[in-house]
Chains A and B, each alone.
Chain A
C-alpha cells in the first residue's frame, strides 16, 4: 500500500470512529458501561484487608480510610456500595471475571496485577517496609475509563489538587 492510501485508510477509520461515537454520551466512555450502571445503582467494591486503609471484621463488615473514601465517592453518583472482602489474588481473579468494579486495600501504584487491575493516579503516600516512599492508588476495572476518570477527579478534588 502506498503512503497516501495508507493514511487515507487510517483517516477513514478515525472518521468512522468519531461518527460512531457521536451516538454515545460521555467521554471517555466505558466499554462495559460500568459508571452508568453504578449510577443510582450498585458499585461493587472488593476490599483486601490492609490497615489503616482497610479493615475487615470477623462478621465481614468493613472499615478504614479507603472504605470511607469509597463510601463518599459512591454518594457523588448516588450509588449503593456492595462490599466484597477477600484476599488480593481472589479480588484480582474476580476483577478478571468482571465481578467487581473497584478494588481497595492500600494498593501501591506498582501493584503486580496489571492486566486485572488498572490503577488510578496516586492519591496518598505511605512508607513501605524498606523505608522507601510508596504511592497509594485505587484499583479500577481496566478500560472502564469513564469510571476511572470519575474516581480520579473525585480523589484529586478531595486531595485539594483541583
Chain B
C-alpha cells in the first residue's frame, strides 16, 4: 500500500481501494458481480412467489423474507461504492465505516426476518389457523396449488444456495462482514424454502400445523444469526476490539502488531489498539523505547512500514512513542491471556 512516509503521513488513510492488493480487488469485483446477480434473482423470486402465494400464510411469509433479503445486497453495493472515495476534510478517517453501517443494515434485515417468521408462525399455531390451499387450473389441467408452491420454492432457492456459498468464500478473503451476513441470509433463505416445502406437503397430508411448526424451527436459527450479526456490527461501529470476519474470535493481527513492534531493538514495550474500520484496520501502537535509546523519526517510520507490511488489512497505522504505556491501555491484546486461536 503506502510508501515510506512517516508517522501520520498524508496518505495514512487512502480510499478503501488503495488498501487492497490485486487479490482483494479481484475478490471485490467478483463479490459486486455476485450481489448484482443476487438482486436480479431475488427480484424475480419476489415477483414469482407473489403470483403463487395465494392465501397460504407460509408462502406470504416466504415472500416477505424475499423482500427483506434484498436489503443486504443493496447495502453491500452502496457501501462498495462509498469506500472508493478518499478521505477529505469532512471525512478524515475515510469511508471504510460504510461497510460497518451496511453490516448493521444486513444484521437488522436478518433479525426482522427471523422475528417476523417467529411471530407469524406462533400466531398461526395459537389461533389455530388452518391454511387453505386449493386448486389451480393451468392450461386446462387441475393441479393442487401446493405442488406449484413446492415447485416455486425449489426453483427460487437454488440461487441463494449457490450464491451464498460463493459469497462465504469471498467474505473471508475480503474480511467483509456484510458479505458474510448476506451469505448467512442466503442460507436462511434456503432453509426457509425447505421448511416451506415440508410445511406445504404436511398441510397436503392434513396436518394443518406442519407449515407453521416448520417455519418456527427455522425462525429460531435465523434469529440467532441476526443477533450474532447485530452484536458484531455494533461492536465494529463502537470501536470494539477487531475480530475475524465471522466475529468468532479476536483478530490475531492485534497480537502480531504488538509482537512486531516489540521485535524492534529500540522498543521495550508495546500495546496496540486495533479497530475494524470495515475491510481494513486502524491501528494505534503505543511504544515505550528502551531506556537510553531515542525514538528517532527514522526508527518510527521504519516500524510503521514494517507493521504496515504485516497484512493488507493493516491500513492506517499510527505509532505513538510514550515514556510508559498509558494506564488505560496496559491490558494489551486479549489474545495474550487466552490460547492462540491461529491454526
Contact = CB atoms under 8 A, between A and B. Distances in A.
Interface of A: 1, 3, 6-7, 9-11, 13-14, 17-18, 20-21, 24, 27-31, 114-115, 118-121, 140, 142-146, 148-149, 152-153, 156, 161-162
Q: Which 7 A-B pairs have the closest CB atoms?
A: A143-B130, A29-B206, A118-B132, A21-B205, A152-B135, A14-B198, A28-B204
Interface in B129-145: 129-137, 140-142, 144
A14 B221 contact: no
18 contacts: A7-B190, A10-B217, A10-B218, A13-B195, A13-B198, A13-B214, A27-B144, A27-B204, A27-B205, A29-B206, A114-B55, A118-B55, A142-B129, A143-B131, A143-B203, A145-B133, A145-B144, A148-B132
B191 interface: yes
B146 interface: yes
B202 interface: yes
B183 to A, nearest CB: 10
Contacts of B140: 161-162
A144 B203 CA distance: 10
A9 B217 CA distance: 9
A7 B205 contact: no
Interface of B: 55, 127, 129-137, 140-142, 144, 146, 187, 190-191, 194-195, 197-198, 201-208, 210, 214, 217-218, 221, 224
A35 to B, nearest CB: 11
Given A28-B144, A118-B55, A153 B127 contact: no
B283 to A, nearest CB: 33
Contact of A20 (B190, B194, B205): B205
A135 to B, nearest CB: 14
Given A29-B204, A142-B130, A162-B140, A149 B135 contact: yes
A51 to B, nearest CB: 27
Given A3-B191, A11-B194, A17-B210, 11 more contacts: A10-B218, A13-B214, A14-B198, A27-B144, A29-B206, A31-B130, A114-B55, A118-B55, A143-B129, A149-B134, A149-B142
B129 A153 contact: no
Contact of B208 (A24, A120, A143, A149): A143
A7 B191 contact: yes
Nearest to A22: B205
A5 B136 CA distance: 35
B198 A121 contact: no
B108 to A, nearest CB: 21
B206 A156 contact: no
B217 A145 contact: no
